[in-house]
Amino acid sequence: MKILFVAADPKPERWTSLIQQHLPDAEIQVWQPDNPSCAADYAIVWHPPATLFDKEPQLKAVFNLGAGVDALVRIPNLPRDIPIVRLEDAGMAVQMAEYVAYHVIGISRDMDAYREQQAAGQWKLRRPIERSEWPIGVLGLGHIGQRVAKTLATLDYPVMGWSRSAHGIDGVRSFAGEVELDDFLAETRVLVNTLPLTDSTRDLIDHSLLSRLRPDAVIINVGRGEHLVDEDLCRAIEEGKVTRAVLDVFREEPLPSSHPFWQMPQVTITPHVSARTLREATIAQIADKILALEKGQPISGVIDIQRGY
């Protein structure tokens, strides 16, 4: 069996050695744009070039090295007749939950103010947290969104979730579809985005949406940069509608140094690290799925290209 590894990693051997450990009989190659076709059976990819699919038309499945498949479904010649498989959790959901909880706790417990007080040598108690003042709305209740919502609910924050169809999650009020979006927003102060990027979610977080949140809103974006209209967030911050934004993903990454977000004290920027792809768990999952496909068994995580995730 031949496996092609296609990702712009300066040290691809960190991946290929793991693939080899899990699939000792496999012949593994690292994609080089100028190499001839290697007639690969499977491709393991992150942001692959479209030429991959012209050169390797015999692929039996494509495995994405991340949960979000937006970069893949955008490729016009992505094969439609083979499984395109996204990463399912592989240690990412807990990291997302941690990242979001860290920021929600830090903001709702006024931790920045305590740091400033420390710098000024001040011992001063601030108002204690009133959880009812921090209702959290999680956009997207896929595996990651659910983990985020459940984690915050465990900490006794009022938590709501919005998704295409209703979900029954303990401690999380579920809102579904376009018709319930307004009600969801009207009750939300901390908006956490975990949605997949599709044509219907692109630019969703715009000025109109931000204006429908509760006052002193907080935005945490761990989905994709293209969910958020940057100028609209800047405007909502200037107007005082949004008081804090924690952004891990951006339309252009790395975020250009001229972007206004860098200069805004209300904005916290992290370089797309809310959930790192964990090599061992990722390759173990992909290898298991390759072995299942080889045995003709069904696998989970196959995306619906039409739907976009």
Name the active-site residue from 47, 167, 259, 272: 272
103 labelled catalytic: no
CB of 71 to ligand GLV, least distance (A): 9
Give the single-character DSSP code of 262. G
Cβ–Cβ under 8 Å, residues 236 and 210: yes
66 part of the interface to ligand GLV, by CB under 6 A: yes
67 part of the interface to ligand GLV, by CB under 6 A: yes
Residue 19 or 67: the one with the smaller Cβ distance to ligand GLV is 67
State the amino acid at position 72 in one-letter form: L
The DSSP bridge pattern shows strands 172-176 and 190-193 to be unpaired
Stretch of 63-71, 159-167, 213-221, 251-259 contacting ligand GLV, by CB under 6 A: 63-71
Name the active-site residue from 214, 224, 227, 244: 224
DSSP three-state, residue 10? coil
**CB-closest chain residue to ligand GLV:** 66
Cβ–Cβ under 8 Å, residues 191 and 219: yes
Give me the residues paired with residue 136 across strands. Answer: 159, 190
Whole-number Å distance between alpha carbons of 199 and 249: 17
CB of 64 to ligand GLV, least distance (A): 8
Cβ–Cβ under 8 Å, residues 7 and 46: yes
- Binding-residue total with ligand GLV (CB under 6 A): 3
259 labelled catalytic: no
Residue 68 or 158: the one with the smaller Cβ distance to ligand GLV is 68
Residue 108 or 277: the one with the smaller Cβ distance to ligand GLV is 277
Residue 68 or 83: the one with the smaller Cβ distance to ligand GLV is 68
H-helix or E-strand spanning residue 124: none
CB of 290 to ligand GLV, least distance (A): 19
Stretch of 23-31, 37-45, 61-69, 237-245 contacting ligand GLV, by CB under 6 A: 61-69
CA R_g for the chain = 21
H-helix or E-strand spanning residue 173: strand 172-176
Residue 69 or 185: the one with the smaller Cβ distance to ligand GLV is 69
Torsion, Cα 287 292 298 300, to 10 degrees, reads -20
Residue 68 or 308: the one with the smaller Cβ distance to ligand GLV is 68
Whole-number Å distance between alpha carbons of 84 and 202: 21
CB of 250 to ligand GLV, least distance (A): 11
Q: Give the largest Cα separation in the chain, rounded.
A: 67
- Site for ligand GLV (CB under 6 A): which residue of 3, 56, 62, 68? 68
CB of 100 to ligand GLV, least distance (A): 14
Cβ–Cβ under 8 Å, residues 303 and 309: yes
Whole-number Å distance between alpha carbons of 171 and 168: 9
CB of 67 to ligand GLV, least distance (A): 4
Which residues are near ligand GLV by CB under 6 A? 66-68
Question: Which residues are catalytically annotated?
Answer: 224, 272
